[in-house]
């Protein structure tokens, strides 16, 4: 470590990143780079996002593979799917690109955005939440980020009630993984659709994160950083309220502002955007 220009030894804590192989009905499906923990939730949420499963009833078992070698025994998990999910699995295995899922990867194995939107419909959620509640979400999530506090190296996602109570949180080296862990846990608990819940993510909002929220039925997604243009487009089409730059007592609303309560006497509206690319 260098401090005040002087080098010296120091012990630093770092977040763990390891590969997890996901098998479905015994067939290799994907390798996800993740932070170990809540692996069953992660596998369920990932397969929901990949449109292999659509409900808890289509999941038989989620178990670590006993036939994996010693190094991979805690990093190889098999999901048994049932019913219509079996046919969808065959389709997904046929059209997936054979790639390794990195911690920064969302739906890397799918070929087109159109294929992801094929079965998506608009979310429900005919309610309003106070602007102050949205502004207070990052501080509440931060109190649950124990590993981030000691390493500074993890993303987080939090699921909140309409009153701003933190109900569930997850940390991971991958933003997408953190959301999948929440989506998977609530799916396995039979709580979908999450139409009376708020989702906060600790980084930027990409198309994939909005897609995952949509499949879980979450009507409002907020982030401490910026959304992408495609995230805004999908949120607008899907009826999702998308908030960004939630910092201090300010934030931007990019779609469906009707769910945010008025601030003072002024109306709540969406913010305009200019679309930029790398010159």
168-225 tens-digit pLDDT: 999 999 989 999 999 999 999 999 999 999 999 998 999 999 999 999 999 999 999 9
Shared-domain flag, residues 107 and 29: yes
Q: Which domain holds residue 168?
A: 131-259
Average pLDDT over residues 157-164: 97
Q: Quick check: is 179 in a domain?
A: yes
Cβ count within 10 A of residue 120: 14
More confident residue, 144 or 259: 259
Average pLDDT over residues 104-122: 54
Please check the confidence at residue 277 and state whether its pLDDT lies above 50.
Answer: yes
Residue 106 pLDDT: 46
Assess contact for 18 and 33: CB atoms under 8 A: yes
Please check the confidence at residue 140 and state whether its pLDDT lies above 90.
Answer: yes
Assess contact for 158 and 137: CB atoms under 8 A: yes
212-269 tens-digit pLDDT: 999 999 999 999 999 999 999 999 999 999 999 999 999 999 999 999 996 544 445 6
Shared-domain flag, residues 204 and 147: yes
HSE of 245 in the Cβ direction (CA atoms, 13 Å)? Answer: 8
Residue 266 pLDDT: 45
Q: Three-state SS string across the chain, please? A: CEECCEECCCCCCCCCCEEEEEEECCEEEEEEEECCCCHHHHHHHHHHHCCCCCCHHHEEEEEECCCCCCCCHHHEEEEEECCHHHHHHHHHHHHCCCCCECCCCCCCCCCCHHHHHCCCCCCCCCCCECHHHHHCHHHHHHCCCHHHHHHCCCEEEEEECCCCCEEEEEEECCHHHHHHHHHHHHHHCCCCCCCCCEEEECCCECHHHHHHHHHHCCCEEEECCCECHHHHHHHHHHCCEEEEEEECCEEEEEECHHHECCECCECCCCCCCCCCCCC
Please check the confidence at residue 109 and state whether its pLDDT lies above 50.
Answer: no
Residue 104 pLDDT: 44
Q: Quick check: is 278 in a domain?
A: no
Residue 274 pLDDT: 57
Catalytic option among 65, 105, 243, 277: 105
Q: Quick check: is 8 in a domain?
A: no
Q: Quick check: is 63 in a domain?
A: yes
Residue 269 pLDDT: 61
Let me know how long the chain is: 279
Shared-domain flag, residues 23 and 63: yes
- What is the model's pTM? 0.86
Shared-domain flag, residues 141 and 167: yes
Q: Quick check: is 11 in a domain?
A: no
105 counts as catalytic? yes
Average pLDDT over residues 60-85: 88
Q: Quick check: is 99 in a domain?
A: yes
Tokens for 14, please give them: 């770092």
In the chain, the number of structural domains is: 2
Residue 272 pLDDT: 65
Across the chain, which distance is largest between two alpha carbons, in Å? Answer: 64
Least confident of 8-17, 94-103, 252-261: 94-103
Indicate which CATH number applies to the domain containing 202: 3.40.140.10
Least confident of 68-72, 106-110, 171-175, 232-236: 106-110
Tokens for 145, please give them: 């980020």
Spatial separation of the C-alpha atoms in residues 226 and 224, rounded to whole Å: 7
Indicate which CATH number applies to the domain containing 96: 3.10.20.10
The candidate with the shortest Cα–Cα distance to 34, out of 169, 206, 179, 177, is 177
Shared-domain flag, residues 253 and 167: yes
Q: Quick check: is 101 in a domain?
A: yes
- What value does the mean pLDDT of the chain take? 85
Q: Quick check: is 47 in a domain?
A: yes
């Amino acid at each position: 470590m260098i401090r005040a220009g002087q080098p010296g030894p120091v012990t630093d804590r770092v977040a763990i990143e390891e590969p997890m192989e996901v098998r479905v009905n015994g067939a290799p499906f994907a390798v996800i780079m993740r932070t170990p923990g809540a692996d069953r939730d992660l596998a369920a949420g990932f397969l929901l996002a990949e449109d292999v499963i659509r409900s808890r009833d289509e999941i038989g078992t989620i178990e670590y593979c006993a036939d994996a070698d010693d190094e991979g025994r805690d990093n190889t998990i098999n999901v048994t799917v049932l019913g219509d999910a079996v046919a969808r699995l065959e389709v997904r295995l046929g059209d997936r690109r054979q790639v390794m899922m990195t911690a920064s990867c969302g739906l890397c194995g799918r070929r087109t955005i159109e294929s992801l939107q094929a079965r998506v419909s608009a979310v429900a959620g005919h309610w309003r939440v106070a602007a102050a509640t949205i502004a207070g979400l990052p501080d509440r999530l931060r109190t649950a980020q124990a590993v981030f506090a000691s390493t500074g190296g993890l993303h987080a996602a939090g699921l909140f009630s309409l009153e701003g109570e933190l109900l569930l949180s997850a940390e991971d080296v991958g933003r997408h993984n953190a959301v999948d862990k929440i989506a998977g846990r609530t799916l396995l608990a039979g709580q979908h659709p999450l139409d009376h819940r708020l989702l906060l993510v600790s980084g930027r909002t990409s198309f994939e994160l909005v897609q995952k929220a949509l499949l879980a039925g979450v009507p409002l997604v907020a982030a401490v950083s910026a959304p992408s243009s495609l995230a805004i487009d999908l949120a607008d089409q899907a009826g999702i309220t998308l908030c960004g730059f939630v910092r201090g007592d300010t934030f931007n609303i990019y779609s469906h502002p009707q769910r945010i309560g008025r601030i003072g006497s002024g109306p709540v509206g969406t913010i305009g955007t200019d679309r930029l690319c790398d010159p």
